[in-house]
Chains A and B, each alone.
Chain A
Amino acid sequence: MIGRRFTADQITMVVVWALLLTVPLWIGAVGGYMALATRVVVLGLAAMSINFLLGFTGYMSFGHAAFFGLGAYGAGFTLKLLAASTPLSLLLGMLLGGVLGGLLGLLIVRRRGVYFAMVTIAFGQVFYFIAYRWNTLTGGDDGLRGFARAPLHLGPVTIDILNNATAFYFFVLACFALVTGVMGLLLRSPFGHTLLAIRENEQRARFLGIPIERHVWVSFTLSCFFMSFAGALYALLNNFADPSNLYYVMSGNIVIMAVLGGIRAFWGPLLGAAVFVVLQDYLSSVTTNWMSFVGLLFVLVVLFFPRGLLGFARNRGQREPAAG
C-alpha cells in the first residue's frame, strides 16, 4: 500500500515541478501574472505546513495562521530593525513563529479533537490580538511597513529579487523546494511513520508504547516552523505584514486549501492552494459576491469532495474515523 502511494506521489511530484519550473512561460497566456504564481507557492507551502499536522498526524489546528503571521512579522522586524538581509529575515521569521509554537504546544498537547481545535482557535486569536493592539511595536491596524525584501548578494552575483518579479518567484520556489524536501524526508523517516500510526489509531499507538504527546508536540512544533517560514515569505512578497495574516479567517482558508487538494496526499495542499488562490483572485474581479462563492466552495468540498482533488481512496468505502 505504502509503496503504491509513493509511486503516485512521485508522478504527482514530477508533474507539479514541471509546471512550477515553467511558470514564467505560460502564466501570461492563461491570464495570470507572476505575483499570483508566487502567492500560490507561498500559500501552498502554508497549506502543506498545516497538513503536516492535519493530514499526517491527524490533529486539527484552526489557529495556525498565528504562526503564519508571526513569521511575517519576524521577517519584517528583521528587515526593518536589524539588517537588510533576506536570508536572515527568513530565518528569524521562522524562529519567531516556530519557537512560540513550540511553547504553545506544550500547553495544549494534551487536548484532543474538538477541544484541541477550539484552543488553537482561541490562542490564534490571542496572537492576532497582540499584533493588532501592540501598535507601538507592530503598527497595529496599520500594519508593519517600511521594509522591503533585500536583493540577494551571492558573492559576485546580486539577484534583484526586489524589483524582478520572476527572480523573486524562483527564489521563493527554491525556498519552497527546500522546506518541502525537509518535510518529505521527515515523513519518510521512522518519525514520520510514527505520526501516521498516531493518525490512524492513537490508542493502539499508545499501547505500542509510543509517547503520543511528545510526538504530537514535535509534529505541532515542526508545522509551526514550516508555517512561519511560509509567513516570512509572504511578508517578503508584500513588503508588508499585518494583523489579518493571523486572523482565524486566514486559518480557515489555509485549512480549506489543504482539504480541497487532499489532506492524505503530500502535494494535495499545493494543488488546493492553487485552485483556491486562483479562484478567489478571479471571482473577486468579476463579482462582489465572491465571498458567497468561496463559502459555497467550502460547503461543496466538505459535503461532496472531502478527500480532495488528489485524495486517494486508501480504504475504499470506509468512512473516516469518528471523532474522539
Chain B
Amino acid sequence: MNNNKLSRVLRRRTLLKAGAAAGLLPLVRPFVISARAADTVKIGMIDPITGVYSAPANSEVEGAKYAVAEINKKGGILGRQVELLVEDSANDVGTGVQKARKLIDRDQVNFILADVNSAIAYAVAGVTNEKKILHIVPGGHTDPITGKDCKWNVFRVCNTTAMDANAIADTLISKFGKKWYFLTPDYAYGHTLQEGFVKKLQAAGGTYEGDLLPIGTADFSASLIKAKQFAPNVLLNIMGGADQVNSLKQFVQFGMDKQMAVGGALYELESMRAVPKEALTGWWTMEWWWDQPNVPHVKEWVAELKKATGKTPSARHWFGYVAVHSCALAAAAAKELDAVKMAHALEGLKLPPEVALQPGDIVYRAGDHELMSSIFVGDAHPAPAGGDADNMFTIQTAVPGEKAAGPAEATGCKVVWPA
C-alpha cells in the first residue's frame, strides 16, 4: 500500500469521524430550552434519584410535585405558575454541585431544594449561598446545616439529631431501663446522634457500650454477639437505611428481641416496607406519620397522595410537600422573589394547618432556620390484619419540636446576612 493512498484513507477517515462527531451536535442542541415560559416561577430540586437513597428521594420528589400542582391550581406564586425542575444528584457531590449551578445559571431558578444526602445538601448550600438563592433542605440530616455552618439563605424541614435523640431518650429510659448498647454508623450523623442519646442517658445515671460500624455493613452478628453478652435493657439501633433493615432482621433472627428492647431514632416508612414483619418492632421517632386520626386535614391529604402516587405517603413525601409550600409562603409573605426578603419572611413563619398536617405551631425558628415540627414517638409493629398495610407504627406521644431541639444558641448557629 503506497503512502498516498494511505494518507487519503487516513484523511477520509478523519473526515468521517469528524462528521460523526459533528453529527452528535443535534443531540447537543436539544439542550436549548425551547418552550420554557419566561414568566414561570422555577423551583429547582436536586435529589439522589439513583443510588442507595433513591427510595426516600423519590418520595420527596413525589411530595414536591403534588405541592406544585396544588399551588398552581390556586394561582401559583405571586400570580405566576410554578415549574418544578428535578435533577438527579446521583448521590455524588460533584454532580449535585454541578446540577445546582446548572439550575441557577442556566435555568434561572428562584428556589433550590436539596438533598437527601446531607453531604450534597451541605455542598449545594455553599453554591446557593454564593448565588443568593433561597435554599430549603427537605431531608438532609447533618446537624451543621442549621448549626455551626448555618447560612442566611438555608432552611431545613427535617429534624436535627438533637431533636430526635431528645424526643425519645426519656421514653426509652422510663419504659425499659438505663443500660444501653449502641449500633452506631461511623460517620458524622451517627456520632452526633449517639452523643445526643448519651447526654440524656448519662444525665439519668445510665451506662452504655456500643460499636461504631461502617456504613454498608451487611453482617451484624459480631456486634450482636457482644450486645447479647452485655445484656442491656435497650439496643440502640441508630443505623440508617439498608443497614438498619439488616441489623433489625438479624436482631430478630437471633431471638434477641426476647431478651431486650430495641429502639433508636429514625425508622423510616421506606425502610419498614423492606423488612419482613418479624423485624417490625421497637420504639422509634417519626418525623411525620400519616396516621393521625384526630388531626384535621391529614386524612384528606393522605388519601389524595395515595391516589396520586399509589402508596401511603411517608415523612419524605411530607418533606417535599412542605419544602415547596415554604417557598410559596415565603414569596407571599415577602411579596417578591428577592432571596434576602424571602429569607427574612421565612424566619418565624408559621405553617398553616393544611401544610403542617400535625397539631401545634410549626414554625421556622429564626435562630437556626430549623423547622420546629413535632417528633412522633411510638412503637413499630406488623400491620394489623385486615387494615392498612402501612399501619406499621403507632404514635404514643408527639413531642413538640421546640422542646426537643433545645435552645437555638446551643446549636452554634450564627446567621450572617449579606451586606
Contact = CB atoms under 8 A, between A and B. Distances in A.
Interface of A: 4, 8, 28-36, 39, 133, 135, 139-143, 145-146, 148, 163, 165, 234, 237-240, 242, 244-245, 271, 275, 278-279, 281-282, 284-285, 288, 290-291, 309-313, 316
A281 B123 CA distance: 18
Interface in B65-118: 87-88, 90-95, 97-99, 101-102, 105-106, 118
- Across the A-B interface, the 3 shortest Cβ-Cβ residue pairs: A31-B31, A35-B101, A33-B106
B403 to A, nearest CB: 28
B17 A311 contact: yes
Contacts of B14: 8, 312
B52 to A, nearest CB: 11
A269 B118 CA distance: 33
B32 interface: yes
A142 B33 contact: no
B29 A142 contact: no
Nearest to A244: B92
B10 A142 contact: no
Interface in B97-144: 97-99, 101-102, 105-106, 118-119, 122-123, 126, 130, 142
A33 B28 contact: no
Nearest to A275: B24
Contact of B28 (A28, A30, A242): A30
B397 interface: no
A165 B105 contact: yes
Contact of B149 (A32, A146, A238): A146
A32 B123 CA distance: 21
A310 B106 contact: no
A142 B119 contact: yes
B188 interface: yes
Contact of B13 (A163, A278, A288, A313): A313
A145 B123 contact: yes
A165 B28 CA distance: 22
Nearest to B131: A163
A271 B90 CA distance: 23
A316 B5 CA distance: 12
24 contacts: A35-B101, A35-B105, A139-B188, A141-B119, A141-B188, A141-B215, A142-B122, A142-B142, A142-B188, A142-B189, A145-B122, A145-B126, A146-B149, A238-B94, A239-B97, A240-B97, A244-B91, A244-B93, A278-B28, A281-B98, A282-B27, A288-B49, A290-B50, A313-B9
A242 B121 CA distance: 13
Contacts of B123: 143, 145, 238-240
Instruction: Decide if the interface of chain B is mainly helix, strand, loop or mixed.
Output: helix
Contacts of A279: 27
Contacts of B13: 312-313
Interface string B283-318: 000000000000000000000000000000000000
Contact of B31 (A140, A275, A282, A290): A282
Q: Which of B13, B28, B49, B98 has the most CB of A within 10 A?
A: B98
B107 to A, nearest CB: 9
A145 B92 CA distance: 14
A89 B78 CA distance: 46
A35 B273 CA distance: 40
Contacts of A36: 98, 101-102
B7 interface: yes
B410 interface: no
Given A36-B102, A271-B21, A245 B94 contact: yes
B87 A285 contact: yes
B101 A33 contact: yes
B418 interface: no
A140 B188 contact: yes
B105 A4 contact: no
Contacts of B102: 33, 35-36, 281, 285
A156 to B, nearest CB: 25
Given A29-B32, A30-B31, A142-B188, 12 more contacts: A31-B30, A32-B106, A34-B101, A36-B101, A142-B118, A143-B93, A234-B94, A237-B94, A284-B88, A288-B88, A290-B50, A290-B88
B295 to A, nearest CB: 34
A32 B31 contact: yes
Contacts of B105: 33-35, 165
Interface in B232-270: none
Nearest to B148: A146
B289 to A, nearest CB: 27
Nearest to B216: A132
Q: Which of B87, B142, B187, B189 has the most CB of A within 10 A?
A: B187
Nearest to A72: B94
Contacts of A135: 186-188
Contacts of B189: 142
Contacts of B49: 288
B143 to A, nearest CB: 11
Given A148-B126, A281-B102, A31 B21 contact: no
Contacts of A148: 126
Contacts of A141: 119, 187-188, 215
B59 to A, nearest CB: 14
A312 B9 CA distance: 10
Q: Which of B31, B33, B126, B188 has the most CB of A within 10 A?
A: B31
Given A140-B188, A141-B187, A8 B87 contact: no
Contacts of A309: 17, 20-21
Contact of B106 (A31, A163, A239): A31
Given A30-B32, A33-B102, A135-B187, A291 B214 contact: no
B93 A242 contact: yes
Contacts of A28: 106
A143 B140 CA distance: 14
B119 A242 contact: yes
Contacts of A290: 50, 88
Contacts of B188: 135, 139-142
A4 B214 CA distance: 54
A39 B102 CA distance: 12
A284 B90 contact: yes
Contacts of B31: 30-32, 282
Nearest to B7: A4
A31 B32 contact: yes
A39 B105 CA distance: 15
Contacts of B94: 39, 234, 237-238, 240, 242, 244-245
A238 B122 contact: no
Given A36-B102, A140-B187, A142-B122, A31 B33 contact: yes
